[in-house]
Amino acid sequence: MDKPKINFNEININSNNLFLKPLSKENATDLFALYSDEEVQRFTDVAIFKNLGEAQKFIAEYSKTAEKAEFLFLGIFSRATKDFLGTIRLYHIDYKHRFATIGFQLAKDYWGRGQMHESLQAFLKFAFNELDMHRIEAQTFVENERGIKVLERLKFVREGRLRENFLIEDKFEDSYLYSILKTEFLEKEI
Ligand SMILES: CC(C)(COP(=O)(O)OP(=O)(O)OC[C@H]1O[C@@H](n2cnc3c(N)ncnc32)[C@H](O)[C@@H]1OP(=O)(O)O)[C@@H](O)C(=O)NCCC(=O)NCCS
């Protein structure tokens, strides 16, 4: 399959209460706050930002490379308040075999309200319908109970335990591999 004719800089996904769109330089402070929060990043494989400049650079570089459609990175915003809630990314995108991996994080103030569930529902619908993905994968550390709950509530299937496949702060950690197929997502209307 060819790359989609969608500019990753111009995506805007709407759900009932939220919208997902690429970050602009005005969002750098919020992104820095999220990506420097060690509790949020404890179970993710994303580099912790050490200063605001790293967040600004990340946003600027994303906007330059987004049109290649190799990596999708969206902010999650409240429709009512326009507040920044978190991020979702799609990476390891393989257009030939039509699979990709997702990663996601919410600012702690928004945990426990179903915001990631709503965001991922809308995001998966976009990935399956607009990017024509067939399979979406996610990996979560075995101790990440919140991450596991989010995936299982969305009917991701646990495919196995990957032994010591992440080196985090000098310690090798196990993770679970999850996936959901387009047919499963559309059939279950999660
Ligand atoms: C993983 C993470 C996004 C989960 O956030 P979360 O707020 O627990 O997830 P959701 O937004 O889907 O909310 C689900 C919770 O809201 C509750 N909820 C309230 N209203 C809800 C609704 N309408 N729909 C679904 N859940 C709802 C659920 O009961 C659930 O609470 P519980 O965990 O106490 O049962 C968040 O903990 C996080 O950012 N963690 C750090 C980064 C990370 O680990 N990322 C994942 C890597 S795999």
CATH code of the domain covering residue 142:
3.40.630.30
pLDDT of residue 139: 96
- Whole-number Å distance, alpha carbon 18 to ligand 1 midpoint, is 15
Answer yes or no: is 4 within a domain: no
Q: Does 175 contact ligand 1 (Cβ within 6 A)?
A: no
The ligand 1 atom at the shortest distance from the C-alpha of residue 149 is 33
Q: In angstroms, rounded to a whole number, what is the distance separating the alpha carbons of residues 88 and 99?
A: 16
Task: Establish if 7 belongs to a structural domain.
Answer: no
Amino acid at residue number 93: I
Residue nearest to atom 22 of ligand 1 (CA): 114
pLDDT digits (tens, 9 = 90+) for 116-149: 999 999 999 999 999 999 999 999 999 999 999 9
Q: Which domain covers residue 38, as residue numbers?
A: 13-188
- The pTM of this model reads 0.95
Task: Looking at the CA of residue 116, tell me the nearest atom of ligand 1.
Answer: 11
Judge if the beta carbon of residue 111 lies within 6 A of ligand 1: yes
The verdict on residue 141 lying in a domain is: yes
Domain membership of residue 178 (yes or no) is yes
User: Within a domain: residue 92?
Assistant: yes
Indicate whether 63 belongs to any domain.
yes
Number of domains in the chain: 1
Asked if the structure places residue 137 within a domain, the reply is: yes
Q: CB of 114 closer than 6 A to ligand 1?
A: yes
122 lines ligand 1 (CB under 6 A): no
Looking at the CA of residue 40, tell me the nearest atom of ligand 1.
Answer: 41
pLDDT digits (tens, 9 = 90+) for 22-70: 999 999 999 999 999 988 988 887 778 999 999 999 999 999 899 889 9
145 domain-assigned: yes
Kindly tell me if the per-residue pLDDT of 189 is higher than 70: no
